[in-house]
Structure 1
Amino acid sequence: MSMDHALQAALNDIQARFPFRDYIGPSVGLEMDAIVRELGRVFPEGFQGKRLLDIGCGPMDKTGVLQRMGFSCSGVDDLGDPWHRRGDNLARIRRFATDLGIEFFLQEAGSTTIPFPTGSFDVVCLLGVIEHLHESPRLVLNAAGQFLKPGGVVVVEMPNSVNLRKRLSMLAGRSSLPPVDQFYHSIGPWRGHVREYTLDETVFICRTNGFEILTATTFEPFAAEKLKPPFRQVYQLLGRCFRSLQSMLLVVGRRPAGWQPAAADEEAFRRAIAHGVPAGIA
């Protein structure tokens, strides 16, 4: 079976099994297409027998697709979004994981504990995770590297902070940040996007953490779902002509032999904040 047919079969199966109707829209299929294609280049022999850890896996819709593609998947998340805990949703998510054979660990709120053996995964995914962090991405990238086998890969996917929609919003005098009413009415620590990144910035954080960059690209999963003709075609054409305008970014990095976690570097931090600050202050 071709990769395209296998992915479509996996998506169809997960859509049928997933406990929340209409959660998995067309954009998820396009996201998974981009991710699976890049992983296919890393593992041309196929995914069977490869172990994958999905950090911040959420309700495991994407984890489920990867499981159906042949990976042996583990997931970790605190499932702390309000809807995760509404009614019996948490139990339904856990049953979904169990039925698919996904090894899932539910973290305590605020915990960074991940109870899997270090150096035991071929792939660690950070899909829509880094933009939510209130602290340096160094910490979660260190965790990814520690759980990878030598030669394993980290997959980082997140919104492109300078995509066309955001640029148009700012030109129209609107914020490119999450809606202010969501932030104002939020309860407890903010769980929305804290800092989004450009493609170059994402390459920087991965490379600075010691990963060898295999792929750095953007893609457009949302235009087909959210825009109607002719705006859809214009949006997609602009994205093909200017890749920095596309909605999502994807970086794949390999853990090289001898990789070590990145340590906090006070001197590097001092130099970074010194830009534009009068001498003698930073």
Structure 2
Amino acid sequence: MQPPPVSERDPGSLERYLLSFRWPFRNEEVHRILVQGGLPLWRQVLRFVPNPKERGKALELGSPPFHITLLLQRFRNYDLFLTGYAADGRPELRQQLESPEFGETYEFVCTCFNAEADTFPYPDNTFDLVTWCEVIEHLTENPVHTLAEIHRVLKPGGALVISTPNASRADSIANFLAGRNIYDPYHLGAPLKGSRHSREYTLAELTGLLEGCGYTIERAADIDIYPPASRNRRIFRWLMNNVVSRITKGHYRYHLFVRARKTEAPFRWYFPSSLFDMGHLAFYMAPRDPEVTFGINEVPHIAMGWGDLQRDPSGREYRRSGQVGDIYLLVREPSTAATVTLAGGRGEAQAWHDNGGNLVLLGATRFDAPPGRWTDVTIPLSADFEPGNPLHIRLDTEAGVDVHRVTTT
């Protein structure tokens, strides 16, 4: 007997298809609620996912419970690489799903890592597509790290598809005006224990973050994926979407969907003040690169005391240090010198290692750089340099100095 037809345009057939899958210890009621509640969202995700003529590679960030996985596998032309997060630290998750009605059996294997902190276990320029659906709102600290890793593993021209609830959705505004709490409730029990929303986004915040990091927005929309709960809510939604939005230029529909592309432009570590507290950001330091270009990746590599980002007449970006300016690099290869491109200051450029609390001076060079004239100051590194140990560049100046770049050779 032939299995029933399934079409991505027919929600009834999609629901029947997804509900047909079985796995050990499946809770029928929970599964039914997940599918019926999630299907309007998953159908919109499919509409944002391009379908290539030639077989592509796709990375799905946050694959369990595999409903989007099943739909991508059936309706899009990609080899899927699945990921998850295991609180107990296990390196992978395995789940077998079987649909007797449709004659399909799968064993899904998820590679587990912390997408907010870890380096993704994939080479550069690997994937044609990355999906990041219903995840960004759960991050607690740093979506920029995740976007940097997505950018690294995407091929040039590759697509990133994001879905997330809209922080400014009309239903939340209605709850707020009625004196009700708009925040996500605690998730105490399985399967979503501890996964409440940490930070939701408006459409402008989400697209602004992506563009600031170097992506190009190909398509972005706010969409009401669920019907209003009452007649009053229907009227309120209409007013917000058709009257208020014309005045404020805001977006008030329930959910956000974005498709962005990686271009040839480098990734920029962009931390907008609308999302990050600038006072706390001054304490953030997580060196990961062997070179720093201001305006591109300096934020995780510099300590406190630097001025705002500026641009000279030629378009070169820079910051001015305080009397002391500290920059940290992570150099994994043997190196014999560090070079600082600077202007408008005099003093000494130093290179240091911290060997278990013992500071080791690797080299130092005096400089006197005229204002507006970029000068390369090279610091020889002694044999005490250790690859993989963060390299601390300190600029000890009379009254600060403009810095554009730091490299190692």
TM interval, shorter chain, is: 0.7 to 0.9
Within 5 Å, give how 1:90-109 maps onto structure 2. Answer: 94-96=95-97, 99-100=105-106, 102-107=108-113
Q: Which runs of 5+ in 2 are unaligned?
A: 99-103, 270-296, 310-409
The match for 1:39 is: 49
SS at the partner of 1:96?
Answer: strand
Per the TM alignment, residue 109 of structure 1 is displaced from its structure 2 partner at its CA by 10
Name the one with the larger strand percent. 2
| Separation of aligned partners in 2, 1:108 and 1:141 | 13
TM-score, structure 1 as length reference = 0.73
Percent identity of paired positions between Structure 1 and Structure 2:
21
The match for 2:79 is: 72
SS at the partner of 1:95?
Answer: strand
Per the TM alignment, residue 249 of structure 1 is displaced from its structure 2 partner at its CA by 0.3
Does residue 62 of structure 1 match 2:63?
no
The match for 2:216 is: 212
Per the TM alignment, residue 151 of structure 1 is displaced from its structure 2 partner at its CA by 0.5
AA of the residue aligned to 2:59:
L
**Relative contact order: is structure 1 or structure 2 higher (C-alpha 8 Å, sep ≥ 6)?**
1
| Separation of aligned partners in 1, 2:116 and 2:205 | 26
Give the one of 143, 147, 152 matched to 2:153: 147
| Separation of aligned partners in 1, 2:10 and 2:80 | 17
Does residue 130 of structure 1 match 2:136?
yes
| Separation of aligned partners in 2, 1:109 and 1:7 | 32
Deviations 1:102-147 (A, max 9, x none): 5521337986253233311111111111111122211010111111
Q: Using a 3 Å threshold, how does the CA distance of structure 1 residues 251 and 106 change in structure 2: closer, same or farther?
A: same
Once the two structures are overlaid, the 10-residue window that deviates more, 116-125 or 25-34, is 25-34
Q: Using a 3 Å threshold, how does the CA distance of structure 1 residues 159 and 5 change in structure 2: closer, same or farther?
A: closer
Deviations 1:169-204 (A, max 9, x none): 11122221123xx2899xxx9532111110000001
SS at the partner of 2:49?
Answer: helix
Give the one of 147, 151, 168 matched to 1:162: 168
| Separation of aligned partners in 2, 1:7 and 1:121 | 29
SS at the partner of 2:43?
Answer: helix
Q: Using a 3 Å threshold, how does the CA distance of structure 1 residues 4 and 195 change in structure 2: closer, same or farther?
A: same
Does residue 244 of structure 1 match 2:251?
yes
Contact 1:80 1:109 in 2 (8 A): no
Contact 1:55 1:75 in 2 (8 A): yes
The match for 1:87 is: none
AA of the residue aligned to 2:264:
A
Give the one of 18, 26, 44 matched to 1:14: 18
Per the TM alignment, residue 13 of structure 1 is displaced from its structure 2 partner at its CA by 2.5
| Separation of aligned partners in 2, 1:270 and 1:17 | 57
Per the TM alignment, residue 63 of structure 1 is displaced from its structure 2 partner at its CA by 1.8
Per the TM alignment, residue 74 of structure 1 is displaced from its structure 2 partner at its CA by 1.3
Give the one of 173, 180, 183 matched to 2:179: 173
| Separation of aligned partners in 2, 1:7 and 1:123 | 24
Q: Using a 3 Å threshold, how does the CA distance of structure 1 residues 74 and 15 change in structure 2: closer, same or farther?
A: farther
AA of the residue aligned to 2:172:
K
Contact 1:73 1:102 in 2 (8 A): no
Name the one with the larger helix percent. 1
The match for 2:263 is: 256
AA of the residue aligned to 2:200:
E
SS at the partner of 1:76?
Answer: strand
Q: Using a 3 Å threshold, how does the CA distance of structure 1 residues 223 and 5 change in structure 2: closer, same or farther?
A: closer
Contact 1:74 1:102 in 2 (8 A): no
